[in-house]
Amino acid sequence: MTMLDPNRSNRSTTGLRPGLLAELDASTIDVANASTLPPELYTSPDVLEFERDALYAKEWLCVGRAEKIPDVGDWFTVTICDEPIIVTRDKAGDVRAMSAVCQHRAMQVCDGSGNSTTFKCPYHHWNYALDGRLLGAPAMERTEDFDKADFGLPQFQVELWQGFVFVNMDPDATPLAPTLTDYDPFIANYDLADAVCPGTFTLENMPWNWKVMFENFNDGYHANRLHEYVQDFCPSNLTNFPTEWSDDAGVIFREGGYTMMDGGFNATHQAIMPVFPKLTDAERSRSTFALVPPTLCLGTAPDQAFFFLVRPTGPETIDVEIGYIFHPSALEDPLFEHKLKLTDVGVQVFVEQDSDATAKVQRGLRSRFAPRGRYSWQEESHVRFNRWLVQRYRSGQPS
């Protein structure tokens, strides 16, 4: 079966410009002394090209919920940094992921979602099995030295965590789950693997860099400032970083304490859906906000988890797929659809305020006056994110 060489690239990248790595040291020291990342990291096409190899070809990429493909033959596609990926449930019932790029002349063999027994490329009808093997290729009998076994769809590693599907293009990548153990105790009582996600919606080509999105998601400093009134129950000064940072960590997370129990991110400040039944009082009095870079932002509230799947479409643009996860009992409520609308309206307020801020941040980052700013203690998560990032930039920088 064809496995992808993570160092294979059809674009030439020269790495980060000389001297830039050294400049990043100022962003990885303790938060009281650290400076923000250089603005060019958020605007430069060269940096995204570098990240394509240094991050996206090597890290675990979250592509969605496993429940999206419950039956054999179910599939969906997703494109991350110009790599179209098929995620499918194979005949054995296992989740698989592979490149969607036809190994004949590179057409995308399928797009969207569906259920099928094979993937037939529309262009010349090369036909692939659910496990990516090339089953048939018409009129190739006169082609010398052509072995179908050499032209399967490149296979990716797959790992499930909390009901999310992660894929990794690097066949040598080490497992994801051991890098997330610091966060596991904070979400264990949600049983997210058995919870339900009723669907997602996608904001396309939003005008900011993927790192601006990650920072905004995990930024307790703006909580009841940008979101004054709507987030007053979860204020910035109750931001907490309950664990020490470890360089082995694949997750950056914080707690956002509430001023009351069972708060909710909507105009009532109350949870709308059933509260997850195993939560302790302490867990019912806080949210968690977590990053599993470079694709997943995951948060929890007493009655829901919420996630953003972040996919760069350019150095200054991203697609953001947003979903909620509820306890299964939520769907049994005859008023579920109404409550879902209320939930959605509540979240949209935050999305609109955040979108306005992040679009203006991105615009500011293009300015000749864009700063290397300083952090509040409430922004410790950004320094941890910087450490995650710079470590990988160093490993990915060509020598």
- Judged by CB under 6 A, which of 21, 107, 331, 359 binds ligand FES? 107
Number of H helices, E strands in the chain: 8, 17
104 lies in the site for ligand FES, by CB under 6 A: yes
Shortest approach of ligand FES to residue 105 CB, angstroms?
4
301 lies in the site for ligand FES, by CB under 6 A: no
Nearer residue to ligand FES within complex by CB, 41 or 121:
121
Contact 97, 156 (CB under 8 A): yes
Nearer residue to ligand FES within complex by CB, 123 or 201:
123
Of the ranges 102-110, 143-151, 265-273, 359-367, which one interacts with ligand FES (CB under 6 A)? Answer: 102-110
Strand ranges, E, within the chain: 61-65, 74-80, 83-89, 95-99, 113-115, 118-120, 127-129, 134-136, 155-161, 164-168, 200-206, 239-240, 252-257, 286-292, 296-301, 304-314, 317-325
Nearer residue to ligand FES within complex by CB, 126 or 289:
126
Shortest approach of ligand FES to residue 126 CB, angstroms?
4
Shortest approach of ligand FES to residue 171 CB, angstroms?
24
**Residue 38 and residue 55: Cα distance in Å, rounded?**
18
385 lies in the site for ligand FES, by CB under 6 A: no
> Which of 294, 300, 323, 288 lies closest to 213 in space, CA to CA?
294
Nearer residue to ligand FES within complex by CB, 124 or 148:
124
**Residue 245 and residue 396: Cα distance in Å, rounded?**
22
Joined tokens for residue 45: 């096409």
Task: Show contacts with ligand FES in window 126-165 (CB under 6 A).
Answer: 126
Contacts of 280 (CB under 8 A, 6+ apart): 189
Residue 325, H or E segment:
strand 317-325
Nearer residue to ligand FES within complex by CB, 75 or 214:
75
105 lies in the site for ligand FES, by CB under 6 A: yes
Of the ranges 14-22, 34-42, 66-74, 120-128, which one interacts with ligand FES (CB under 6 A)? Answer: 120-128
Q: Which residues bind ligand FES (CB under 6 A)?
A: 102, 104-105, 107, 121, 123-124, 126
